[in-house]
Amino acid sequence: MNEEHAKERILELRELLEKYNYEYHVLDKPSVPDAEYDQLMKELIELENNHPELHDDHSPTSRVGGAILDFFEKVEHTVPMLSLGNAFNDQDLRDFDRRVRDGVGDNVTYVAELKIDGLAVSLLYEDGRFVRGATRGDGTIGEDITNNLKTIRSIPFRLKDPVRLEVRGEAFMPKKSFQKLNAHREEEGQELFANPRNAAAGSLRQLDPKIAASRNLDIFVYGVGKLEGHSVDSHDESLTYLSHLGFKTNAEWKKCDNIDEVIEYVNGWQEKRPDLPYEIDGIVIKVNSLYQQEELGFTAKNPRWAIAYKFPAEEVVTKLEGIELNV
Ligand SMILES: CC(C)(C)c1nc(N2CCN(c3ncccn3)CC2)c2cc(C(N)=O)c(N)nc2n1
């Protein structure tokens, strides 16, 4: 194929694949089967390899994780990603509720949500386009894993509104994908992952994005770090807005009018936990009003307006060379 023709074909494929990618990742309504998409992508990768002079960072090939990185760039979070205080029983939750009501009075409602057991990440959007994704790291400095996060299909590349937004979420590996991955690794005589959280973290820390792309990772977004171009007054409103924008939020969250309803929700999910298709390690409880969150503020490292109720570790039976251990 001569130079002129190759350039034409590359530009044509880039446009076509961007359209298909937008349909698949944002509209979730692909107009071509995956096999056709993959075939066109393969053709473009080949053509671009033969014509490095036509390289373009915003080619669709950059989405499927072309270049293997030597290291991850450091990223400073504009709004630090805090950690959470823990509660281990009902009394801890009642103590938390008392502290909150001492701070803001008795007219307080909570939002309770499942605590997804994965890896906390932050996604940055400018003009409604996904520009960068990073690990939580130590809460202030994380690692740029944009290329790996691009392989998570539930991360929208373009939002419904052109907002500048930093959104937080938990990337995770569904239980079924974890079981399949470990079964494959066992066949290959490779070391197994201990749990889905380690498998998700290990996958997102791969320098070769093609490996992350093969791990069927997913994400639930749970909060906003920074939001320009729109305003919300409460946490339940921000969750609703995030799903309007095209994000995947966890549908099990519940607005609770008092701590008794929170305790009921916590006990309910402690029972239903094994039936979920993903792992959770507890429940996160947040004061719903953003104004009251502001009033309550933070301790040295945790918000006073949120707490994580931790479930006891699940009974796991580990077969170790035929010896049954209950750990
Ligand atoms: C925005 C706040 C601070 C209230 C907050 N912080 C969270 N986390 C902080 C601690 N994180 C953390 N991670 C590693 C080491 C220390 N802390 C991991 C995220 C939340 C995690 C989940 C979840 N997992 O499903 C959730 N539904 N809501 C959260 N909300």
Look up residue 84 and give its amino acid. Answer: L
- Give the Å distance between the CA of 15 and the centre of ligand 1: 38
Q: Which ligand 1 atom minimizes the distance to the CA of 168?
A: 1
d(CA 224, CA 79): 10
Q: At what angle do helices 34-50 and 3-25 cross, to 10 degrees?
A: 140
Look up residue 323 and give its amino acid. Answer: I
203: three-class secondary structure by DSSP? helix
What confidence score (pLDDT) does residue 67 get? 76
What confidence score (pLDDT) does residue 150 get? 87
What confidence score (pLDDT) does residue 18 get? 75
The protein residue whose alpha carbon is closest to atom 9 in ligand 1 is 83
Q: At what angle do helices 259-272 and 90-104 cross, to 10 degrees?
A: 150
188: three-class secondary structure by DSSP? coil
> Euclidean distance between the first and final Cα of the chain, in Å?
63
Ligand 1 neighbours (beta carbon < 6 A): 82-84, 113, 115-116, 120, 136, 170, 222-223, 284, 286, 303, 306
pTM of the model: 0.84
What confidence score (pLDDT) does residue 327 get? 43
Structure tokens at 320: 């170790």
| Catalytic (active-site) positions | 115
d(CA 150, CA 166): 16
pLDDT in tens, 217-256: 999 999 998 888 889 999 999 999 998 888 989 999 999 9
ipTM over 0.95: yes
In this predicted structure, which of 23-27, 57-61, 247-251, 316-320 has the lowest mean pLDDT?
316-320
d(CA 136, CA 119): 8
In this predicted structure, which of 55-69, 141-155, 203-217, 262-276 has the lowest mean pLDDT?
55-69
- Give the Å distance between the CA of 223 and the centre of ligand 1: 9
Closest CA to 60 of 14, 25, 22: 14
- Give the Å distance between the CA of 83 and the centre of ligand 1: 6
Look up residue 244 and give its amino acid. Answer: H
pLDDT in tens, 11-49: 999 889 877 875 665 455 789 999 999 999 999 999 999
Number of helices (H), then strands (E), belonging to the chain: the values are 10, 13
d(CA 324, CA 239): 43
**DSSP for residue 257:** S
In this predicted structure, which of 25-29, 88-92, 146-150, 168-172 has the lowest mean pLDDT?
25-29
Task: With residue 317 as reference, give the H or E element that holds it.
Answer: strand 317-320
In this predicted structure, which of 86-90, 224-228, 251-255, 290-294 has the lowest mean pLDDT?
224-228
